[in-house]
């Protein structure tokens, strides 16, 4: 029996339109509506009963917390009735939305994000195949309990680990030292690994009734840092700071001094701009091996539950 999959559209290049079929960079993301995306892949209906819904239609650089909350609440509502969800999304912040949903969706049913690197009007546009594959993964029993997944370019990635590593190539996503979870091999989804961190049905975080998220900024470490941005963030009243530190999370001595004082009142998390592996556990919460952009999301959700540094640290070791 065919499963019921709902496709929620948010925009991005998969819904992008250019003036010419050879133009893959000058185009308007978030232009086509969900019906056009589904109509472009009639084969989808051979694999699942699909319905579409437009959540927004934007370039994902403009994603907002309001959209995240709307999306998470809508998914939690829909999953009572459907077997799986696919979200079409711009690739620029796709990994952030995926991790936010990985922590806030309250179901083991498959939730899959996909997008495209080439606009729908381009020669060899990748969106149609990505959408078909995403629906196949959403309709696959083996996707249950795997957390939120990202399906791009025939690859299946875990929301926690996946990151965009290329600005143009269709092979734009990678799960760094962890590797992908599976592939769509000859059109058939197959899994080889699972992610061990807590997610979805086991997550302690909830967006139910939440109107906004705590204000958390990322400060990017660099040579010759004078601490200007850290001071500005603290003066602006942030509730938390993610340090995208150098190497093993190292922070310029002057900046670190400011942060040690700040950490008496706000949450400070050490992460790394390196893009791989863990960071030192010293003075601040250590962000484990999350990228700074994902550490920001976990800290925002952590701060909806606690201000206790040791509790926040526990969360960074579990999610």
What residue ranges bind ligand SIN (CB under 6 A)?
A: 11-13, 29, 59-61, 90-92, 115, 117
Residue nearest to ligand SIN (CB): 90
For ligand SIN, which is the closer residue by CB, 3 or 294? Answer: 294
* Catalytic status, residue 121: no
Q: How far is CA 130 from CA 29, 83, 133, in A?
A: 16, 19, 5
Q: In angstroms, what is the minimal distance from the CB of 92 to ligand SIN?
A: 3
Q: In angstroms, what is the minimal distance from the CB of 167 to ligand SIN?
A: 9
Is there a contact between 49 and 1 (Cβ–Cβ < 8 Å)? no
* Strands of 76-162, DSSP E: 84-88, 111-114, 149-152, 155-158
Q: In angstroms, what is the minimal distance from the CB of 290 to ligand SIN?
A: 21
For ligand SIN, which is the closer residue by CB, 12 or 249? Answer: 12
Expressed in angstroms, the distance from the first to the final Cα of the chain is 35
Euclidean distance between CA atoms 271 and 284, whole angstroms: 10
Euclidean distance between CA atoms 37 and 29, whole angstroms: 13
For ligand SIN, which is the closer residue by CB, 31 or 289? Answer: 31
Is there a contact between 103 and 294 (Cβ–Cβ < 8 Å)? no
Q: In angstroms, what is the minimal distance from the CB of 242 to ligand SIN?
A: 21
Q: Which of 242, 253, 189 is nearest to 219 (CA)?
A: 242
For ligand SIN, which is the closer residue by CB, 60 or 272? Answer: 60
Active-site residue identified among 13, 24, 88, 104? 13
Residues involved in catalysis: 13
């Amino acid at each position: 029996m065919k499963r019921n999959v709902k496709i929620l559209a948010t925009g991005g290049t998969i819904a992008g339109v250019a003036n010419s079929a050879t133009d893959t960079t000058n185009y308007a993301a978030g232009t086509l509506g969900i019906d056009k995306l589904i109509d472009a892949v009639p084969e989808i209906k051979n694999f699942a009963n699909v319905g579409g819904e437009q959540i927004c239609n934007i370039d994902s650089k403009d994603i907002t917390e309001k959209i995240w909350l709307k999306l998470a609440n809508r998914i939690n509502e829909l999953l009572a009735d459907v077997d799986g969800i696919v979200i079409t999304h711009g690739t620029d912040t796709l990994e952030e939305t995926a991790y936010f949903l990985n922590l806030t969706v309250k179901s083991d049913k498959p939730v899959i994000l996909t997008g495209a690197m080439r606009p729908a009007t381009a020669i060899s546009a990748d969106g149609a195949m990505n959408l078909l594959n995403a629906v196949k993964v959403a309709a696959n029993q083996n996707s249950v309990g795997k957390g939120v997944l990202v399906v791009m370019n025939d690859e299946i990635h875990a929301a926690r680990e996946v990151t965009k590593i290329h600005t143009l190539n269709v092979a734009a996503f990678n799960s760094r030292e962890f590797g992908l979870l599976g592939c769509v091999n000859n059109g058939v989804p197959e899994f080889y690994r699972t992610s061990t961190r807590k997610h979805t049905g086991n997550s302690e975080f909830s967006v139910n009734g939440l109107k906004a998220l705590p204000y958390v900024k990322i400060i990017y470490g660099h040579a010759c840092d004078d601490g200007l941005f850290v001071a500005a963030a603290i003066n602006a009243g942030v509730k938390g700071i993610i340090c995208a530190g150098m190497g093993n999370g190292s922070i310029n001595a002057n900046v670190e001094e400011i942060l040690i004082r700040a950490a008496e009142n706000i949450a400070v998390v050490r992460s790394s701009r390196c893009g791989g592996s863990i960071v030192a556990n010293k003075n601040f919460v250590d962000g484990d091996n999350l990228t700074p952009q994902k550490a920001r999301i976990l800290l925002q959700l952590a701060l909806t539950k606690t201000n206790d540094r040791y509790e926040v640290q526990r969360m960074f070791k579990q999610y």
